[in-house]
Amino acid sequence: MKTNMLRSLLLNFTVAAALLVPAVLTLPAHAGPVLPTVGPESDYDKVTCGYLKVYSRTEQTQWGENTYYNVHTAYWIYNTSGKRIKTVANHDSIIDESPEKVALTPGNYVVRAWSDDDGLVTVPVIVKLAQTTTVHLESGSAETSGHVTVGNLTKN
């Protein structure tokens, strides 16, 4: 009788362990709350614009004592009919040396910006879906990116 009782208890324990072990192993191990996913959105099929980046003439600004920054000057974007559609400051602050990346509907535009070598210039540009058109108006710029590089007026 003790043997039957022991077998029954052992059988019940084995069944309970077989049911509990998979449930415990599938529970996530957390050290705290789960935060939202970090990273860029991957909705490439929903992209509806292209981008424009203009390396216009830079002007030196001073921030603090003996600290100088070369920020890109503002420029203007026009449609092909000559109507101004956007004025771009081309920097976020007086210490921001990176030109602003502007989202635009794909199409043809005209940019009026200050060049290091030629003063105020007019540059026709093409903006394509999900691509960045880059215009370089800095002295001696040999960099090419996107569709248009201006400096030597080289078009890709």
pTM beyond cutoff 0.85 = no
pLDDT score recorded for residue 61: 83
> What mean pLDDT is reported for the chain?
77
pLDDT score recorded for residue 39: 72
Question: Average pLDDT of 113-133?
Answer: 95
List beta partners, residue 68: 62
H-run or E-run covering 49: none
List beta partners, residue 55: 136
pLDDT score recorded for residue 150: 39
Question: Average pLDDT of 97-123?
Answer: 95
pLDDT score recorded for residue 8: 62
> Does position 148 have pLDDT exceeding 70, yes or no?
no
What share of the chain in percent tops pLDDT 90?
44
Tokens 């003790």 -> residue: 2
Q: Which residues contact 9 (CB under 8 A, 6 or more apart)?
A: none
Query: What does the pLDDT look like over 8-45, one tens digit per residue?
Result: 655 555 555 555 555 555 555 557 888 777 877 666 66
- Integer CA distances (angstroms), 93 to 15, 65, 107, 147, in order: 68, 17, 29, 28
If we measure between CA atoms, which residue out of 62, 137, 67 comes closest to residue 99? Answer: 137
Query: What does the pLDDT look like over 77-96, one tens digit per residue?
Result: 999 999 999 999 998 766 67
C-alpha–C-alpha distance, residues 118 and 127, integer Å: 24
Q: Which residue has the higher pLDDT, 45 or 153?
A: 45
Which range has highest mean pLDDT (1-5, 86-90, 139-143)? 86-90
C-alpha–C-alpha distance, residues 49 and 59, integer Å: 30
Is beta strand 50-55 parallel, antiparallel or unpaired with respect to 101-104?
A: antiparallel
> Does position 143 have pLDDT exceeding 50, yes or no?
no
